[in-house]
């Protein structure tokens, strides 16, 4: 049975990879974007361009690039790459590296020259994903395969939640439903249908909902718009006919960001109480609750740091901008972006902390109720 599941999992993964590669190839051909390998850098010079505001330097590279896919596979073309010190997204070419290049044609439909589209990064991402999958199966065995299955279902849930939001759905309702489904599916698949999984699910749902409620209240009082990030501001101009509620989307992001850490804490407590009950069936509900709280306090210290550090890590560039420009604390703390991250981190941490006594109590009651049935 386990071997059959393993084979199905591997086949499913291979189908996804092959389908993704074919989709990428078809997209590239339609857009005239192809994979190329740089054989040699034939030109690398710096030109000074004069403008009304003064001169600035422009670096121009030319390279011989061998196309690796598409109808022109094997053909060597000239690729031009311009790097301007006024822009932040310059791509420097190196011999031997692979790039995506888009091409221009002459009147006869032959390739005239190419230009740099981006570095080829997906190849190495796929390698990293492959290493991750192999290690999960080799080290985790059947449990690792089940973990991969839960991860895939989680990604699918997030994907369909985003589709729902993009279609104009209620982000709050969608995020609550998806988070609940993720918690239920993950716990049952990882540990099976039992008391500890039920305790962990109820504790997780309670903790995540608390985080969301606190975030909504804090966002209302702090007048957070949900537009504190560049990505959110870009969404304003790409939403088309959909009238997004950015505060609701912020709520959804807080729920998703909190869910993983809360699930970890709740499962740790529920599992520990279950093991304690198995080892000592004569412990009272009160003693089990106390044991769960002691375990939760130990886990709480590291998990609170996990949430805070995760949010701080995503904002490190912005924080450095503040330091380099000596922006006053008063201005920083009142910025929409900073206030949003603080509310996000603290509401998530509060939900995590409150999930500890909730899970400990539910687990203790369920374990003793089960004992009383014998």
Q: What is the pLDDT of residue 374?
A: 44
Q: What is the pLDDT of residue 17?
A: 47
Q: Of 196 and 28, which is predicted with more confidence?
A: 196
Q: pLDDT confidence of 191, banded at 50, 70, 90?
A: confident
Q: pLDDT confidence of 135, banded at 50, 70, 90?
A: very high
Q: What is the pLDDT of residue 368?
A: 76
Q: What is the pLDDT of residue 20?
A: 47
CATH topology of domain 32-120: OB fold (Dihydrolipoamide Acetyltransferase, E2P) (2.40.50)
From 22-36, 41-55, 97-111, 252-266, the region with the lowest mean pLDDT: 22-36
Report residue 104: phi and psi, to 5°. Answer: -115, 150
337-348 b/e (C-beta count within 10 Å ≥ 16 → b) = bbbbbbbbbbbb
Q: Of 42 and 304, which is predicted with more confidence?
A: 42
Region 153-157: what's the mean pLDDT?
Answer: 90
Q: What is the pLDDT of residue 359?
A: 93
pLDDT of residue 10 exceeding 60, the answer is: no
Region 40-51: what's the mean pLDDT?
Answer: 83
pLDDT of residue 131 exceeding 90, the answer is: yes
Cα–Cα distance between 151 and 158 in angstroms, integer? Answer: 11
Residue matched to tokens 């974007």: 33
Residue 148 in contact with residue 223, Cβ under 8 Å? no
Cα–Cα distance between 308 and 323 in angstroms, integer? Answer: 19
Residue 178 in contact with residue 157, Cβ under 8 Å? yes
Q: What is the pLDDT of residue 370?
A: 63
pLDDT of residue 82 exceeding 50, the answer is: yes
Region 167-185: what's the mean pLDDT?
Answer: 89
Q: What is the pLDDT of residue 129?
A: 92
255-265 b/e (C-beta count within 10 Å ≥ 16 → b) = bbbbbbbbbbb
pLDDT digits (tens, 9 = 90+) for 193-243: 888 899 999 999 999 888 888 888 888 888 887 777 777 777 877 766 777
Cα–Cα distance between 68 and 76 in angstroms, integer? Answer: 10
Region 93-110: what's the mean pLDDT?
Answer: 86
Q: What is the pLDDT of residue 87?
A: 59
pLDDT of residue 14 exceeding 70, the answer is: no
Is the Cα dihedral 136, 142, 146, 149 positive or negative? positive
Q: What is the pLDDT of residue 261?
A: 83
Strand 54-67 to 33-51 pairing: antiparallel
Cα–Cα distance between 87 and 243 in angstroms, integer? Answer: 32
Please list the residue range(s) of the chain that carry CATH number 2.40.50.
Answer: 32-120
Q: Which two tokens stand for residue 306?
A: 């996990």
Residue 176 in contact with residue 256, Cβ under 8 Å? no
Q: pLDDT confidence of 86, banded at 50, 70, 90?
A: low
∠ Cα 306 310 312 (to 5°): 120
CA 13 to chain centre: 20
Region 290-302: what's the mean pLDDT?
Answer: 85
CATH architecture of 168-372: Up-down Bundle (1.20)
- 141 Cβ neighbours under 8 A, 6+ residues apart: none
Q: For residue 107, what is the DSSP state?
A: T
pLDDT of residue 315 exceeding 70, the answer is: yes
What is the average pLDDT score of the chain? 81
Roughly what angle, to the nearest 10 degrees, separates helices 336-372 and 246-279?
A: 30
Please list the residue range(s) of the chain that carry CATH number 1.20.1640.
Answer: 168-372
289-321 b/e (C-beta count within 10 Å ≥ 16 → b) = bebbbebbeebbeebbebbeeebeeebeeeeee
- 3 Cβ neighbours under 8 A, 6+ residues apart: none
From 79-88, 208-217, 263-272, the region with the lowest mean pLDDT: 79-88
Region 366-370: what's the mean pLDDT?
Answer: 77
Region 46-60: what's the mean pLDDT?
Answer: 75
Q: Considering only CA atoms, which of 270, 272, 262 is closest in space to residue 204?
A: 262
Q: pLDDT confidence of 8, banded at 50, 70, 90?
A: very low
Q: What is the pLDDT of residue 66?
A: 92
Q: Of 89 and 311, which is predicted with more confidence?
A: 311
């Amino acid at each position: 049975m386990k071997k059959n599941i393993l084979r199905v999992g591997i086949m499913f993964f291979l189908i996804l990879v092959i389908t993704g590669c074919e989709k990428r190839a078809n997209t590239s051909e339609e857009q005239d974007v192809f994979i190329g390998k740089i054989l040699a850098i034939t030109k690398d010079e710096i030109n000074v361009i004069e403008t009304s505001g003064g001169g600035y330097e422009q670096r121009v590279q030319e390279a011989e690039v061998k196309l690796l896919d598409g109808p022109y596979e094997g053909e060597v073309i000239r690729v031009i790459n311009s790097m301007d010190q006024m822009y932040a997204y310059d791509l420097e070419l190196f011999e031997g590296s692979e790039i995506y290049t888009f091409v221009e044609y002459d009147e006869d439909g032959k390739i005239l020259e190419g230009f740099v589209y981006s570095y080829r990064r997906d190849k190495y991402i796929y390698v990293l994903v492959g290493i991750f999958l192999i290690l999960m199966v080799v080290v985790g065995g059947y449990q690792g395969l089940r973990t991969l299955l839960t991860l895939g279902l989680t990604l699918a849930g997030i994907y369909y939640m985003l589709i729902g939001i993009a279609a104009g759905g209620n982000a709050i309702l969608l995020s609550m439903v998806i988070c609940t489904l993720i918690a239920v599916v993950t716990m049952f698949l990882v540990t099976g249908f039992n008391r500890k999984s039920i305790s962990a699910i109820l504790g997780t749902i309670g903790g995540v909902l608390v985080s969301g409620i606190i975030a909504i209240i804090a966002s209302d009082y702090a007048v957070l718009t949900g537009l504190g990030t560049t990505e959110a501001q870009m969404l304003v101009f790409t939403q088309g006919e959909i009238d997004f509620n950015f505060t609701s989307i912020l709520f959804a992001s807080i729920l998703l960001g909190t869910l993983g850490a809360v699930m970890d804490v709740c499962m740790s407590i529920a599992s520990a109480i279950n093991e304690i009950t198995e080892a000592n069936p004569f412990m009272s509900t009160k003693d089990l609750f106390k044991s769960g709280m002691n375990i939760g306090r130990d886990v709480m210290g590291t998990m609170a740091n996990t949430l805070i550090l995760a949010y701080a890590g995503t904002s490190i560039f912005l924080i450095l901008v503040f330091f380099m420009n000596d922006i006053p604390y008063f201005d920083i703390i009142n910025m929409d972006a900073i206030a949003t991250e603080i509310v996000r981190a603290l509401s998530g941490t509060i939900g995590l902390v409150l999930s500890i006594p909730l899970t400990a109590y539910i687990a203790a009651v369920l374990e003793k109720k089960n004992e009383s049935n014998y």
